Amino acid sequence: MKVLVISLAGIGDTLFATPLIHELREHFPEATLDALVLWRGSRDLLETNPHLNRVHQRNLLADSPLAALRYLLRLRREGYDLSFNTHPQSRVHYRLVAGIIGARTRISHRYDNASLLDSLLTHRALPQDYSRHAIENNLALLELIGLKPRLPAHSYELFLTRADTEWAERFIAAHGLGNHTLLGIHVGSGGTKNLAWRRWPLEHYIELIRRLTAARPGLRVLLLGGPEEQADHAHILAQTDRARVFQPATENVRQAAALLRHCRAFLSVDTALMHVAAAMRVPGQVVIETPTWNKPIEPHGNRFILVPNRALAGRNLQYYRYDGRGIRGTREEIARLMRSVTVEAVEAALSAVLQEAETPRPVERGSGEQIRP
């Protein structure tokens, strides 16, 4: 038996696939179980996963059509028996990849933009469900091959190496952060389609950091992200206290995850690092609501505070659905929606979790509990 898990969407979306990967290993202990991902960050998350035999990573978007086809035809020669397109992969191109690789049985979800071509490229499909998390959407695919989940519980699975944890410990020690309360912040967002439009304004982040560090002498801020955030980080560092705000030069997503294990709070919109923070059980997780926010992409298994975007007024699915398209609306409209979330609202949410973090008594936490300020 040779099984391929196809997860070509975002890095956070790859984390959604990890419980399914574990279940497949439980059901097929002797199988060759591989994954195909698009992004290097997705490979970083999966290359230490003990349930996988191999991780194939290729940025097909950067390839010419001919080069992409040649690569996929090489994978076709692997002779996979079964392939799964994991949730959410709404573009028909993802099913085209599965069709070219040509597993004998190809499994997927059916999305809002499903067409006859989708049905030709896959053999069995299950309607995706906006009312349940992407992890549950993925596990539901098992029923299409007559299986049920065996594990008693499911959440993200991210396996750090000793080198990852030691790197984070060295960073903490080198900057004298061991006795400080650490707040991780990710100012970025996805770069495909027009998802970068949903970022909270950079000037809001700067004002927020200034207020929080002024009010809390023991607070230190870690600006987390990749090369695409470097210019934004430089802008923030130039306008805040460099003795209290740091930009770790992480080499991979696992190093960022190892640092998040030391953080008492984390702030972002719905990004890959939001899910990494949830996987690391950061106790004070705060998320700013965006037009792309919905049930399938909530932080899974970790308590969090959602700072509501009142300008959206619950119209998220009018702005963004899993149909292969970007966010509806103009860039100016989306920017206006994100500006409507005030610094004061985010500060209030973070102040609450930081106050809790600084309280010496132990606090019992629930799992997957959502709190609205």
Four-way CATH pick for 2-145: 3.40.50.300, 3.40.50.2000, 1.10.3720.10, 3.40.140.10: 3.40.50.2000
C-alpha separations of 276 from 17, 172, 296, 354 in Å = 13, 19, 15, 19
d(CA 327, CA 318): 9
Which residue shows structure tokens 């959206």?
312
Helix axes 202-215, 230-238, angle to 10 degrees: 50
**Tokens standing for residue 44:** 């970083």
What is the per-residue pLDDT across 17-44, written as a single tens digit (0 to 9) for each?
A: 999 999 999 999 999 999 999 999 999 9
Give the bridge partners for 148, in sequence order: none
pLDDT of residue 360: 55
pLDDT grade for 363, boundaries at 50, 70 and 90: very low
The residue extents of the domains of the chain are 2-145, 162-371
Q: E strands within the chain?
A: 2-7, 32-37, 54-57, 82-85, 105-110, 124-127, 181-185, 219-223, 245-246, 265-268, 284-288, 304-307, 370-371
Worst-scoring range by mean pLDDT, 178-187, 265-274, 282-291, 361-370? 361-370
Q: How much is the CA Rg of the chain, to the nearest whole Å?
A: 21
pLDDT of residue 371: 33
Which of 301, 248, 240, 298 shows the shortest CA–CA distance to 274?
Answer: 298
The answer on pLDDT for 367 being more than 50 is no
Higher pLDDT, 262 or 193: 262
Rounded mean pLDDT, 128-146 = 97
The answer on pLDDT for 369 being more than 60 is no
Higher pLDDT, 372 or 53: 53
Contacts 24+ apart (CB under 8 A), 259-262: 259/168, 259/171, 259/172, 259/184, 259/222, 259/224, 260/184, 260/224, 261/165, 261/168, 262/168, 262/172, 262/177, 262/182
d(CA 51, CA 29): 9
What is the per-residue pLDDT across 278-325, written as a single tens digit (0 to 9) for each?
A: 999 999 999 999 999 999 999 999 999 999 999 999 999 999 999 999
d(CA 36, CA 255): 22
The answer on pLDDT for 328 being more than 60 is yes
162-371: same fold as 2-145? yes
CATH architecture classification, 162-371: 3-Layer(aba) Sandwich (3.40)
The answer on pLDDT for 362 being more than 50 is no
Q: Which residues contact 251 (CB under 8 A, 6 or more apart)?
A: none
